[in-house]
Amino acid sequence: MRFDTNHPPFYGGIDLHARSLYVCIVNHEGDMLLHRNMKAAPEPFLKAVVPYRDRLVVAVECIFTWYWLADLCAAEGIACVLGHALYMKAIHGGKAKNDKIDSQKIAALLRGGLLPQAYGYPVAMRAPRDLLRRRANLMRKRAELLAHVHHTNRNSQYNLPAIGKKIAYKANRAGIAERFDDAAVQKTIEVDLALSTYEDELLRDLELSILTTATHHDANTLYLWQTVPGIGKILSLVLLYESHDIDCFPRVQDFASYCRLIKCAQESAGTHLGTSGKQIGNAHRKWAFSEAAGLCLRNNPPGQKYLARVEKKHDKGKALTLLAHKLARAVSYMLKRKTAFD
């Protein structure tokens, strides 16, 4: 956890929503100078902070709506700190909660040097990262469509013989609907396959666009990611945009923790209380390393040997997680040294 420890004359806490924001500004002594609710737009915000803006630092939670406010502050020369939403929830939780109280607590955390910071992702790479996350959503919907075809065919309803070929490929989808006698069922399967075919075209175009953009952003790092066993075109893109700058992680443990590959133990007075922090970190990076751990075992005797050794002590799921953790540690060193995976 990183804290902001700057000491400017004025501290601003902003509780931001889609259509409104509540601003609280205090001075170094803790006196409240401004506490106001306003429309979530540039003009009201800039007008309200005019008397303080030259020596003001504002803080806002890193939630879905932070992009425009952080960009506005950067353009206007106002220092802006992003607060880690989950850590802040744990710190400033209380009995009463509303926008007015939250903005005041954010300002107090900033003034006291206790505001847990989140990473402000660079403007140029935000849109491609969001597009890549949108691709994951489209892939899940495509998988649901194809799974529905299989379930209708064999597992759940009609118990017909297995299709026997991968309908993920367009060439294998001919004649699938004709396996059913009922016209309504045929139409259902035709709709599923038609949507899958359309999404295939969208995904191809989307992936080509992201790949072209990524080669302009950082072709060397993209190549380094693809030297890791199990990491191909898509996983390398995900990890490139979700990791961005390896120098943000001073230690290899920090990198592995942000990948959700470390369990944080809770202990008090010598008593072990279990683990916590499962939601702290990047879910997309966790998914990518989990996928890579399974894929790297293909035609990889050293990886298979390591997994077999770990499975003697743990179950297979735990062993794959440990393999993903080992990959993440190796990748961290690889990126810091800017060398290909060995």
Please state the domain extents for the chain: 3-116, 125-218, 237-266+277-337
User: And the tokens for 306?
Assistant: 């390591």
Give me the pLDDT at residue 279, please: 78
Q: What is the helix (H) or strand (E) element at residue 11, kind and residue range?
A: strand 10-16
Give me the pLDDT at residue 281, please: 86
Give me the pLDDT at residue 220, please: 93
Give me the pLDDT at residue 4, please: 65
Give me the pLDDT at residue 163, please: 85
Give me the pLDDT at residue 225, please: 94
**How far is the C-alpha of 48 from the C-alpha of 14, rounded, in Å?**
12
Q: Is 61:85 a contact under the CB 8 Å cutoff?
A: yes
DSSP character at residue 169: S
Q: 3-116 adopts what CATH topology? A: Nucleotidyltransferase; domain 5 (3.30.420)
Instruction: Specify the amino acid at residue 173.
Output: R
Of the candidates 204, 210, 218, 215, the residue with the CA atom closest to the CA atom of residue 246: 218
User: And the tokens for 138?
Assistant: 């489209």
Give me the pLDDT at residue 127, please: 92
**How far is the C-alpha of 193 from the C-alpha of 198, rounded, in Å?**
9
Give me the pLDDT at residue 91, please: 66
**How far is the C-alpha of 224 from the C-alpha of 101, rounded, in Å?**
47
Non-local CB neighbours of 156 within 8 Å, separated by 6+ positions: none
Of the candidates 239, 261, 237, 255, the residue with the CA atom closest to the CA atom of residue 318: 261
Percentages helix, strand, coil for the chain, rounded to the nearest 5?
55, 15, 30
Taking 70 as the pLDDT cut, the residues of the chain under it are 1-6, 90-93, 155-156
**pTM for the full predicted model:** 0.85
**How far is the C-alpha of 127 from the C-alpha of 110, rounded, in Å?**
29
End-to-end CA distance of the chain: 31
Give me the pLDDT at residue 259, please: 92
Give me the pLDDT at residue 219, please: 93
